[in-house]
Chains A and B, each alone.
Chain A
Amino acid sequence: MLAESLAISAVLFTIGVVGVLIRRNAIIIFMCVELMLNAVNLSFVAFSRYYGAEGQVFVLLVMTVAAAEAAVGLAIIISIFRHRQTVNLQNINLLKG
């Protein structure tokens, strides 16, 4: 089932990427990133079934990072929203050089 798992993983990852590209809502983009992380997790788990439990360790670490990322990222979004009254990335160009 490795090939099928990887295929699902690849499709989910691609959907995440496309979502990042086509959405403008910061929170949805954030969730797309979470989807991409999950796609990678699926690959890890699929591999761990055949190549040892280390893959699951990585999945745990990824989850931790995702949790931390969600905490900080959502805090940033709230902060931005307070200033701009929007989470639409088209209206946010604080990074402009």
Chain B
Amino acid sequence: MMLLQVASQAHPLSGTVAEWVWLLPVLPLLGFVINGGLALLGLRANGDARPAAGRHTYAGIVSVVGPLVLVLSFALAVAIFGAMRGAHMEAPFIRNYFDWMPVGDLQIGAALQLDQLAMVMVLVITGIGMLIHIFSVGYMRDDPGYPRYFAYLNLFVFFMLVLVLGANYPVLFVGWEGVGLCSYLLIGFWFSDKVNADAGKKAFIVNRIGDFGFLIAMFLLFAHVGVLDFRGVEAAAPSLAFGGWLVTAICLFMFLGCAGKSAQIPLYVWLPDAMAGPTPVSALIHAATMVTAGVYLVARSAFLFSMAPVAGLVVALIGGLTAIFAATIGLKQWDIKKVLAYSTVSQLGYMFIGVGVGAYTAGIFHLVTHAFFKGLLFLGAGSVIYAMHAAYHHTHRHEDAQDMRNMGGMRRFMPLTWVLMWIATLAIAGIPPFSGFFSKDEVLAAAFTRAGQSTLADAYLFGVPGGTVLYLVYVLGLASALLTAIYMTRMMLYTFHGSNRTGEGEQQHLREAPWVMTGPLVALGVGSAFAGWLNLPAILPLGPRHTLDHWLEPVVGAPTALTAQATAGGGEHSAGMEITLILIAILVAVGGIVYAFARLKPERLVPKADSPEDEGFGLVLANKYYVDEVYDAAFVTPTYQLSRIFLWKGVDTGLIDGLMVNGTSALARGLGWVGSRLQTGATGTYAWVLVAGVLAVLGAVTLR
């Protein structure tokens, strides 16, 4: 403890604005308190638990407070970032605020840790979060639960910042659970519809499975390493057996938690259903920030994952499989948000390929660019849905405002959204010079390179050489890139091109969203276009190169080098190879877009109500490979049956009610019956019993 204090006093960030790091999460918490209080006050004013229809009484205050705390937080983050850039820090900046769990050997403090990785995440969370908060002001303003919405959103940002700023696993876990809670609350935000509430429950329960893994990983860490703070584990990690069962088990259990939080196979099923929440929530929580927490956790635990090549292979393989699996489902979805949801699952797979193969910077890089373009896509989709909803509202028709078959030709009504969405689409498809191209290329290149030379390539996964697995992962990633280009182009074509299918009466009500919503879109569009500049590859002749690589070097440099078996520049692939990979990636992306343009004819689409069913494999895809049904049959129904037949009828009704509750009363009644049989009423019997008692007492006295 003293040592830590001394070290942090000597830290270059001491005394700078970084001392205010605690204020980063506290500001959104303040917003939560204010907005939550206003929500409760509104309830009291209405005198009813169900919010009244129409705009909320305190909408004005909430519109200011909700985004303002995020603006302040972002400003502080930028200021701290400035301080960090000038500081050239090697060690993280740690502040312990109070002892949280001082139990025997377990010393856990409520400590925050600021380093380059956390800073990147903080900037993404507060920056993108700020834009989405502003967007929400336009999108949600007329909702009766408006203060409640902002309260949850602020609370989410608080927990997310705790997650990325925590200096040890338990603090991270608090944030981890907190964002899960907020996710649950926001998915079921319109809880009066059972579908939405069920989606929230599904997300929560599936995440519990993952959290179980995370907890096991923490227990293993504590049992075998003895510390839980990042610095301590990092210091102890090299002493663990390389590739041994312990570190592999820890990493795999931790990855189970990541798979739950970041929607990877087999726990991805909750994310598409999570689209039941408001669209800005989908953008912030289920695209930009929370679902990337798993990627962050792997990158944060790079010192562990680099010691466990088998775990790395599993992570990369699961990532690749998830990427292609979700991408194929995305091909056949009609709900615009579902397309984006499966796209998110697929892109998260990419991130896990990146961190799995030990290219932590590439994974984080894709996380950042993805936050921009997927945030933009979701907000753009939200904009479209907003317009559709308003149009249907005007004509009092109850059609699906999210189904692409009811859209079409939207570029005439929403030109700005159209342009921005195309930027995001090109970015996610991997067309240079948009951001997604660079990050995706870096991930794929990393997978390809590591397949050739790395600790992973030397390991074996179920007897298969790691190199083979990684080449497979590369191919999966490439195929996913092709599919990504196809389904994104499909979405754009069906939504914005062709003729409008909304309806004659509705067309005149379709219009661009107000500036409070388009403003954030523009900002995100700029980010989507240029975020690639964060980490340009070395072969480009201009601009700053490998900025993010250098920035994250103090955090993930050593693990990356360990995995890549690189010694001072060695192991870097040649320029010719790099150019070849890039050309392949571009070819795939362009091919996908061209294919989609050639094959898909938005003119032939008819509105949802008139559309025929899909056939053959298309039907399988449209039904998401029936995974939900399989899970239902394999897990949900047996659990229900177990609960109903064994736990309810057996344990609860039979054992507890029957044996314990009724049994106790029956026992008492039985004893009473026996006692009443003793009451013969014959005085002689009483006399005998009385004398027997006297004999016993006297005997006890005599024999004492």
Contacts and interface: CB of A to CB of B under 8 A. Distances in A.
Interface of A: 17, 20-21, 24, 29, 89-90, 92-97
B680 A24 contact: no
Interface string B663-695: 000000000000110011111101110010000
Contacts of A97: 675-676, 679, 681
Contact of A96 (B680, B684, B688, B691): B680
B545 to A, nearest CB: 99
Contacts of A96: 679-682
Contact of A89 (B675, B676, B679, B682): B682
22 contacts: A17-B691, A20-B687, A20-B691, A21-B684, A21-B687, A21-B688, A21-B691, A24-B684, A29-B687, A89-B682, A89-B683, A89-B684, A93-B680, A93-B681, A93-B682, A94-B681, A95-B679, A95-B681, A95-B682, A95-B683, A95-B686, A96-B681
B683 A92 contact: yes
Nearest to B686: A95
Contacts of B675: 97
Interface string B386-409: 000000000000000000000000
A58 to B, nearest CB: 20
B684 A90 contact: yes
B253 to A, nearest CB: 64
Given A29-B683, A94-B681, 16 more contacts: A17-B691, A20-B691, A21-B687, A89-B684, A90-B682, A90-B684, A92-B683, A93-B680, A93-B681, A95-B686, A96-B679, A96-B682, A97-B675, A97-B676, A97-B679, A97-B681
Interface string B436-471: 000000000000000000000000000000000000
Interface of B: 675-676, 679-684, 686-688, 691
A97 B673 CA distance: 10
Q: Which 9 pairs between the two chains have the least Cβ-Cβ distance?
A: A96-B681, A93-B681, A97-B679, A95-B681, A97-B676, A89-B683, A20-B687, A93-B682, A89-B684
Contacts of B681: 92-97
A75 to B, nearest CB: 17
A93 B683 CA distance: 7
A94 B691 CA distance: 21
Nearest to A20: B687
Contacts of A92: 681-683
B132 to A, nearest CB: 77
Nearest to A32: B687
SS class, residues of chain B in contact with chain A: helix
Nearest to B694: A17
Nearest to B683: A89
Nearest to A89: B683
Contacts of B684: 21, 24, 89-90
A48 B33 CA distance: 86
Nearest to A95: B681
A45 to B, nearest CB: 22
A29 B684 CA distance: 10
A13 to B, nearest CB: 11
B701 to A, nearest CB: 15
Contacts of B680: 93, 96
Contacts of A21: 684, 687-688, 691
A20 B685 CA distance: 11
Contacts of B686: 95
Contacts of A95: 679, 681-683, 686
A20 B686 CA distance: 11
A30 to B, nearest CB: 11
Nearest to A18: B691
B680 to A, nearest CB: 6
A94 B682 CA distance: 8
A94 B680 CA distance: 9
A88 to B, nearest CB: 10
A89 B686 CA distance: 11
Nearest to B678: A97
Contacts of A93: 680-682
A95 B687 CA distance: 13
A29 B676 CA distance: 25
B198 to A, nearest CB: 58
A93 to B, nearest CB: 3
A77 to B, nearest CB: 12
Contacts of B691: 17, 20-21
Contacts of B676: 97
Contacts of A90: 682, 684
B695 to A, nearest CB: 10
A37 to B, nearest CB: 15
Nearest to A92: B683
A93 B682 CA distance: 5
Nearest to A91: B682
A97 B681 CA distance: 7
A82 B684 CA distance: 21
A92 B680 CA distance: 10
A24 B688 CA distance: 13
A17 B693 CA distance: 13
A15 B209 CA distance: 80
A31 B6 CA distance: 98
A63 B34 CA distance: 86
A52 to B, nearest CB: 25
A21 B692 CA distance: 11
A17 B682 CA distance: 17
A21 to B, nearest CB: 6
A24 B682 CA distance: 10
A20 B687 CA distance: 7
A93 B684 CA distance: 10
B681 to A, nearest CB: 3
A23 to B, nearest CB: 9
A89 B679 CA distance: 15
Contacts of A94: 681
A17 B691 CA distance: 8
A39 to B, nearest CB: 14
Contacts of A17: 691
A96 B687 CA distance: 14
A95 B686 CA distance: 10
A58 B258 CA distance: 89
A97 B674 CA distance: 11
B586 to A, nearest CB: 97
A97 to B, nearest CB: 3
A96 B680 CA distance: 5
Contacts of B683: 29, 89, 92, 95
